């Protein structure tokens, strides 16, 4: 029974691993743009990195907030020493010091001798006063060397203590640091949103590139088919003596040129799919095409200035710099803190803890009175930085405004060019077809037909290039606003 259960668990784990690997290596086909944008937000590596930065910044807020609650330190120390000062200090801290540690046994011996009568019997206080009044006897008594105090036995010392310190007033420095950390977390969120907007821009642009390349390939294939028909007609004319070998070579040369452009278009499309797969961190084989003509942008400048993340970051930087000025002002304020300590010491670890315990509480206030003027100049530095950032905010707004006007002007120009080029392409195609028919009737040379074919291809390339520029500029406006 146990063996069967183990086999079942092994089978389930294998299936789960296989399913996970299948999801990781899944290739998407006919992928819609909306789904691609969702996948990019979930799986793009750069967005993941930006999310880590955002989480790090959020933890920074908790770090800054934690400073307001102070800190608790616990320490355990084990020592062994025969140093006279250390041993006496150990005993005193453990509340175990006795007069014997001072060498009072030797002192009392000398004191007893001073109490003796000349006949060797114990005298009274008058005898002690008479003997101790002798300067020689006093000197001898005071010069007694306490052996236990100067040459103590080695002693172990274990000290355990807990100390709690908390800032009571820092000139609002800690509160400003917490606010700055919160602003940095918001800025990290803006950075992530900016990366998301950039990836969205790249995904959309790749979709339009692929759709444009597919349309280009379709149009080129149609042109290639027309040239192949022209080649077949030229071969028939050559057989009948109405066309020369050079006519056929011109048509084949043009056909080879179209094949080269088709190869480049397919290679670029494959590269675009690789880039899209990189953005989504998943293999993409095909996409659902997007419309190249209906895409438009009607975002007013006021919305761009309100939503633009670079402007928001610049404004947030100004707010942070204002708080840094307050931090510099804290150097001219007193700092007040409190602490409490509790511990115990003994010659054995945690021995008689309650009998030897101790506590200390206190409050400390300090204030810098003179620092050579460095605090004053630091404050002036922060004020100048604030003025600098304020001008940077103005620069960001004016720069975005100028960029918006430049892009919208380019979009308007591209719209006019696309409209004109579509008419020119339709005309070039009509002219080419007319010359093709005239060639079949012997009224035009093959060179004329090839020239008109080249003009048609040139107009097509120019139209697709202009459409690509137009769509890219529209995406840039979206990137400015979102």
Q: Where are the domains of the chain?
A: 25-69+171-333+374-481, 71-169
Query: 464: which residues sit within 8 A by CB, 6+ positions away?
Result: 212, 215, 216
Cα angle 159, 165, 167 (rounded to 5 degrees) comes to 165
Q: What is the pLDDT along the chain (482 residues), one digit of tens a residue?
A: 445 544 554 555 544 444 444 444 568 999 999 999 999 999 999 999 999 999 999 999 999 999 999 999 999 988 888 887 788 778 878 877 777 767 666 666 655 555 555 555 544 555 555 555 556 656 666 666 676 777 787 888 899 999 999 999 988 889 999 999 999 999 999 999 999 999 999 999 999 899 989 988 988 898 888 888 888 888 887 777 767 788 788 888 888 988 998 999 999 999 999 999 999 999 999 999 888 665 677 889 999 999 899 899 999 999 999 999 999 998 888 999 999 999 988 888 887 888 888 899 999 999 888 888 898 999 999 999 999 999 999 999 999 999 999 999 999 999 999 999 999 999 998 998 898 888 777 777 878 888 888 888 889 889 988 988 888 898 889 888 87
Quick check: 418 and 470 in contact, CB under 8 A?
A: yes
- CA 265/CA 466 separation, integer angstroms: 16
b/e code 333-353 from CB counts within 10 Å (16+ = b): eebebeeeeebbbbbeeeeee
Cα angle 377, 382, 384 (rounded to 5 degrees) comes to 95
- CA 380/CA 374 separation, integer angstroms: 10
Q: Can you state the angle between helices 45-66 and 33-43, rounded to 10 degrees?
A: 40
Distance between the two ends of the chain, CA-based, in angstroms? 60
Quick check: 145 and 103 in contact, CB under 8 A?
A: yes
Burial (Cβ within 10 Å: 0-12, 13-18, ≥19) of residue 16:
exposed
C-alpha atoms less than 13 angstroms from C-alpha of 258 in its C-beta half-sphere: 26
pLDDT of res. 63: 92
Quick check: 101 and 149 in contact, CB under 8 A?
A: yes
Which of 454, 401, 456 lies closest to 428 in space, CA to CA? Answer: 456
- CA 154/CA 156 separation, integer angstroms: 7
SS3 (DSSP) at 120:
coil
Q: Can you state the angle between helices 446-481 and 245-280, rounded to 10 degrees?
A: 10
CATH number, domain 25-69+171-333+374-481: 1.20.1600.10
Output the pTM of the full model.
0.73
| 3-state percent breakdown (helix, strand, coil) of the chain, nearest 5 | 70, 10, 20
pLDDT of res. 11: 52
Query: 316: which residues sit within 8 A by CB, 6+ positions away?
Result: 183, 186, 187, 190
pLDDT of res. 24: 47
| Residue 467 phi, psi dihedral angles, 5° rounding | -60, -40
SS3 (DSSP) at 155:
strand
Query: 363: which residues sit within 8 A by CB, 6+ positions away?
Result: 168, 336, 337, 338
């Amino acid at each position: 029974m146990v063996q069967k259960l183990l086999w079942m668990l092994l089978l389930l784990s294998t299936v789960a691993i296989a399913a996970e690997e299948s999801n990781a290596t899944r290739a998407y086909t006919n992928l819609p743009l909306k789904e691609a944008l969702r996948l990019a937000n979930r799986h793009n590596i750069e967005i993941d990195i930006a999310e880590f930065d955002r989480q790090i910044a959020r933890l920074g807020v908790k770090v800054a907030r934690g400073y307001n609650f102070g800190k608790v330190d616990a320490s355990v120390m084990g020592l062994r020493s025969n140093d006279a000062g250390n041993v006496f200090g150990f005993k005193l801290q453990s509340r175990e010091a006795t007069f014997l540690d001072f060498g009072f046994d030797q002192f009392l011996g000398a004191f007893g001798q001073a109490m003796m009568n000349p006949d060797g019997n114990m005298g009274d206080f008058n005898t002690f006063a008479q003997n101790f009044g002798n300067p020689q006897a006093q000197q001898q008594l005071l010069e007694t060397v306490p052996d236990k105090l100067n040459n103590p036995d080695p002693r172990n010392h274990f000290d355990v203590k807990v100390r709690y310190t908390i800032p009571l007033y820092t000139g609002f420095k800690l509160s400003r640091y917490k606010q700055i950390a919160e602003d940095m977390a918001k800025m990290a969120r803006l950075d992530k949103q900016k990366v998301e907007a950039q990836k969205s821009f790249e995904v959309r642009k790749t979709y339009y590139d692929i759709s444009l390349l597919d349309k280009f390939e379709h149009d080129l294939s149609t042109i290639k088919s027309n040239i192949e028909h022209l080649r077949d007609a030229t071969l028939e004319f050559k057989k009948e003596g109405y066309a020369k070998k050079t006519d056929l070579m011109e048509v084949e040369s043009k056909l080879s040129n179209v094949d080269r452009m088709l190869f480049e278009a397919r290679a670029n499309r494959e590269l675009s799919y690789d880039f899209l797969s990189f953005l989504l961190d998943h293999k993409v084989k095909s996409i659902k095409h997007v419309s190249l003509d209906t895409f438009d942008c009607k975002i007013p400048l006021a919305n761009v200035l309100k939503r633009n993340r670079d402007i928001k970051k610049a404004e947030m930087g100004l707010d942070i710099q204002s708080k840094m000025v307050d931090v510099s002002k804290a150097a001219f304020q007193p700092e007040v803190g409190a602490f409490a300590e509790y511990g115990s010491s003994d010659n054995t670890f945690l021995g008689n803890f309650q009998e030897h315990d101790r506590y200390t509480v206190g409050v400390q206030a300090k204030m810098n009175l003179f620092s050579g003027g460095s605090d004053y100049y630091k404050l002036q530095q922060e004020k100048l930085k604030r003025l600098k950032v304020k001008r940077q905010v103005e620069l960001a707004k004016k720069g975005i405004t100028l960029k918006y006007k430049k892009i919208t002007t380019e979009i308007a120009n591209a719209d006019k060019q696309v409209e004109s080029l579509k008419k020119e392409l339709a005309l070039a195609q009509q002219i080419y077809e007319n010359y093709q028919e005239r060639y079949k009737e012997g009224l035009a040379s093959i060179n004329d037909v090839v020239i008109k074919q080249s003009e048609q291809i040139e107009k097509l390339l120019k139209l697709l290039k202009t459409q690509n520029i137009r769509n890219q500029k529209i995406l840039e406006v979206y990137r400015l606003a979102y």
